[in-house]
Amino acid sequence: MRDDAPVVVAARRTWIGTAGHGHRDVRAVDLAAVVLGAALDDARALGVAAEVDDVVLGNCTGPGGNLARVAALTAAGLGTGVPGLTVDRQCGSGLAAVLLAGQQVRTGEAGMVFAGGVESASTAPRRAHRTPDGDVPYDRAPFAPAAIGDPDMGPAADALARAYGVPRERQDAYAVRSHTRALAAHAAGRFDAETVPVPRDPSGTGSAHGSPLRRDERARRLDPAVVARLPAAFSPDGTVTAATASPVSDGAAVLAIVPERTRAALGLPGLRLVAGATRGVDPRLPGWGPVPAVRTVLAAAGQDVGQLDAIELVEAFAAQVLTVTDALGLDPLGVPDDDARLCTDGGALALGHPWGASGAVSVVRLFSRLVRAGAPAGTLGLAAAAVGGGMGVAGLFEVVR
């Protein structure tokens, strides 16, 4: 193994709040700063003395500017000499940030980088187009040129389900699976070591309300009979419902990445980044994006899906998850036993989907499932996300001890 291979040695996230609720008054920079500070404390407690060379954070709907730099300046323990880079690859932003940080470490540019993502849909600014007749509000930036096709994500998920034959019943069953697993993980305390609570008033401005979240807010018991009666959420003839679409959410996740030589010298367990890839697909069917990205990283590493021990796929929509798993030969709804490697403790459908952070949350989950749980060296984990505009991002990781 090369001594400059990038390795994740610490991984933290916030509890995820539903937009307008648990973290409703907490700015993106404050969510990021809290989790940055926790990851830094973890790295220092493990004996990592290297200077922090950069902070790379994914974000989609923040205030603009360089949010990562502001978060680095806000976080306790990081000085003015630590720069920042903000990445926008939509729902793949957090994972893209991890891949970029891995490249910095692999090339020798950095001895330690903190990477991840953050989203505060609750506090995101409202934007407008300037026209001769005044400002005209718009809901979102374009994902693709209108001439090619630029659907919203909900209708795109409906189109994907039609194109690849994913019926309503399977989508409903997968949503129930995600919530059931998330509730079981909460009850067993499997998220406790990876999470950090957000203080009531992280910025000291007196603006935040309510108590800190002590769980991921969205997860709940879903009655299959009730789920089956829900109307289509996005298209009159669609199959995606409020239960099978992830909620708009607030949250942050950060990982500490160092070279293999640093990890080995300290004798730390970690997740080595083996390979990463981003691939483009038809913007009209963006949910297909993870398929070529996953195939690319597996081919680069000389592995196949059967050799993976843990898989975290951002659950933007049940239809998207099932389309991807069908293409990759996975069976998360198998009878009598499903493929438990996929989102073992639930995913974004149940935990929430803070867009810029979700890809990094997936890597935090891999770290807990494999490194914190004591998986042996050589165990493989995969993280992947679909991206608006027709892209997929994937990263392959290996346990090192």
- The domain ranges of the chain are 6-125+154-400
* 8 Å CB contact between 375 and 309: yes
Instruction: Report the range out of 124-138, 196-210, 279-293 with the highest average pLDDT.
Output: 279-293
What's 252-320 look like in SS3?
EEEEEEEEHHHHHHHCCCEEEEEEEEEEECCCCCHHHCHHHHHHHHHHHHCCCHHHCCEEEECCCEHHH
Q: What is the DSSP string of 22-77?
A: TTTT--HHHHHHHHHHHHHHHHHHTT--PPP-EEEEE-SSS-SS-HHHHHHHHSTT
- For residue 233, give the nearest of 246, 223, 222, 220 by alpha carbon: 246
| Alpha-carbon Rg for the chain in angstroms | 20
| Whole-number pLDDT of residue 3 | 83
Please pick, among 23, 179, 186, 353, the residue that the annotation labels catalytic: 353
Tokens of 154: 């909900």
Mean pLDDT score of the chain: 95
Interval 8-40: pLDDT, tens: 999 999 999 999 999 999 999 999 999 999 999
- What is the rounded CA–CA span in Å between residue 228 and residue 92? 30
Query: Known catalytic residue: 91?
Result: yes
- What is the rounded CA–CA span in Å between residue 162 and residue 258? 44
**Where would I find the H helices in 108-167?**
153-164
| Whole-number pLDDT of residue 220 | 95
- What is the rounded CA–CA span in Å between residue 71 and residue 234? 35
| Whole-number pLDDT of residue 189 | 97
- What is the rounded CA–CA span in Å between residue 366 and residue 347? 12
pLDDT of 209 higher than 60:
no
- What is the rounded CA–CA span in Å between residue 275 and residue 153? 28
Confidence of residue 233 (pLDDT cuts 50, 70, 90): very high
The set of residues, in sequence order, having a beta carbon less than 8 Å from that of 24 and lying 6+ positions away, is 17, 122, 123, 209, 210, 250
Domain 6-125+154-400, second-level architecture: 3-Layer(aba) Sandwich (3.40)
- What is the rounded CA–CA span in Å between residue 100 and residue 85? 10
| Whole-number pLDDT of residue 211 | 58
**Where would I find the H helices in 107-219?**
153-164, 168-188
pLDDT of 207 higher than 60:
no
More confident residue, 393 or 3: 393
Please pick, among 23, 60, 91, 186, the residue that the annotation labels catalytic: 91
Tokens of 34: 């809290």
| Whole-number pLDDT of residue 200 | 73
Query: Known catalytic residue: 60?
Result: no
End-to-end CA distance of the chain: 12
- What average pLDDT does the segment 125-150 reach? 88
- What is the rounded CA–CA span in Å between residue 393 and residue 288? 11
The DSSP output letter for 377 is T
Interval 337-392: pLDDT, tens: 899 999 999 999 999 999 999 999 999 999 999 999 999 999 999 999 999 999 99
| Whole-number pLDDT of residue 336 | 84
| Whole-number pLDDT of residue 205 | 61
- What is the rounded CA–CA span in Å between residue 300 and residue 382? 13
- For residue 166, give the nearest of 340, 334, 318, 283 by alpha carbon: 318
- What average pLDDT does the segment 39-67 reach? 96
Phi-psi region of 230 (alpha: psi -120 to 50; beta: other; left: phi over 0): beta
